[in-house]
Structure 1
Amino acid sequence: MKRLVHLFMTCVLALALLSGCASKSEVVKLPRPVGTIAIAGFTNPVFNWELLAGYLPQEGRPIKADVLQQLDAKMVGVLSKHGVTGYARPAITRQCQEIEVFENMGTRRQAAFAYWVKVGECMTADYILVPQILFWQDLRGMQKADYNIQPASVIIDLYLIDVNNKRIVRRFHFDETQQPLSENVLNAGTFFKRGGKWVKAMDLADEALDNGLMELGL
């Protein structure tokens, strides 16, 4: 029996190493955008028409304002970690977000896109990064227990909009619900990277911003 357990753990660790290698190779950093960049404050669309793409898993489910504030702070921290400087911070861009309004410009999706272009123009930026949190479910239960758990689950979209040419040039989509190792051995690398325990939604958001901004070239 001990021999079987040892063999199983050896296989799991091997998969973890392979998964870790694969995850690193999947993150492709694009060239940094040339021009001025405004970073919008996180928004929480509660209706599908507020999105720039895709659909909400559940409409009418708002997220607490303090979570959005924490995400704004984390965004600034990750940008600093990546060596990005000289951009307009979310606290500044929010002023233009509060000034501009959605207008009837064709379909509601078109109006949502036009709104963000106007925010970028208000900031006199060449690019505007629009982060949206579509779903947020925090961990409920003990982090080290494997029962009676509501796992953390996060869906985040990051859009880089070319303000001058009025188009989305890059997008990153993150949709992650943590699973126990027993349910998905192929994610062993991620499981062990997270300390072999249940993580909080903000930890998943850290991963989303770190990988997402890198893929967007920021």
Structure 2
Amino acid sequence: MKRLFPLLLTCVLAMATLSGCASKSEIVKLPRPVGTIAVAGFTNPVFNWELLAGYLPHEGQPIKKEVLQQLDDAMVEVLARHGVTGYARPAITRQCQEIEVFENMGSRREAAFAYWVKVGECMTADYILVPQVLFWQDLRGMQKADFNIQPASVLIDLYLIDVNNKSIVRRYHFDETQQPLSSNVLNAGTFFKRGGKWVKAMELADEALDNGLMELGL
């Protein structure tokens, strides 16, 4: 029986690896939106009323501005990898984000949505991509050790808003906290895809943007 266990574990890991690869191939890439696109700079809602959907795991916990800038840079890099060109970059869209303000329009969620529509109108764009980071926890500890670790954890939402029709046409939600292989063998495919080591929060964010933009058609 002891001799069979390593073989059984190997089979399970192989199946998990295959399932991990399959999950990436199953990502649905929607048709690219037709029209001009503005990409907003990453924002970090600290209160639920600032969200377009869902709820924060913890309110009142802001993320460092340096992280938001790094996420903006990562967004531009991933869009380039996907062959997306001719869009208004976050650095430009931020100018309209700073001009427009939230107004009292019924519920606070309605005010948040109206704000982003106004930013899109300010950019004279047909669509505006709104990225929001709701939670950010970076890796603490040794990447290759399996003890005294605070794993990376990232919560990101991507919204594609039709500015002319004032509607959210597509949304992508990413909520990932890296787990050790010993906690969930079925995640072996993802674990080995990440080099069999603990990864940093920015690496998880890159996964979120790569998969999320593909699902949004970008």
Report the more deviating stretch, 2-11 or 92-101. Answer: 2-11
For 2:155 and 2:19, the matched residues in 1 are separated by: 25
**Paired position in structure 2 for 1:11:** 12
Per the alignment, in what secondary structure is the counterpart of residue 132 of structure 1? strand
Contact 2:16 2:186 in 1 (8 A): yes
After superposition, residues 49-60 of structure 1 pair within 5 angstroms as 49-60=49-60
Write the deviation string for residues 127-170 of structure 1: whole angstroms up to 9, x where unpaired: 00000000000001100111111110000000000000000000
2: distance between equivalents of 1:4 and 1:130?
A: 48
**Paired AA for residue 98 in structure 2:** E
Task: Say if 2:21 is the partner of 1:20.
Answer: yes
1:186 aligns with 2:173: no
Equivalent residue, structure 2, for 1:44 = 44
Q: What RMSD, in angstroms, separates the aligned Cα atoms of the two structures?
A: 1.0
Which runs of structure 2 are paired with 1:1-218 in the superposition (5 Å)?
Answer: 1=2, 4-25=5-26, 27-218=27-218
Report the identity percentage. 80
Unmatched segments (≥5 aa) in structure 1: none
1:13 offset after TM fit, Å?
Answer: 2.0
Deviation at 1:9, TM superposition (A): 2.2
DSSP 3-state at the match of 1:129: strand
8 Å CA contact retained: 2:157, 2:171: yes
Residue 2 of structure 1, CA deviation: 5.5
For 2:36 and 2:85, the matched residues in 1 are separated by 10
| Partner Cα distance (1:2, 1:92) in 2 | 62
Secondary structure of the residue aligned to 2:97 is helix
- What is the distance in 2 between the residues matched to 1:163 and 1:78? 23
Output one character per residue of 1:51-103: Cα deviation in whole Å (capped at 9) or x when no partner: 00000000000000000000000000000100000000000000000000000
Post-superposition, which runs of at least 4 consecutive aligned residues in structure 1 deviate over 2 A? 1-7
TM-score where L is the length of structure 2 = 0.97
**Aligned to 1:101, what secondary structure does the other structure show?**
coil
Residue 110 (structure 1) shift: 0.3
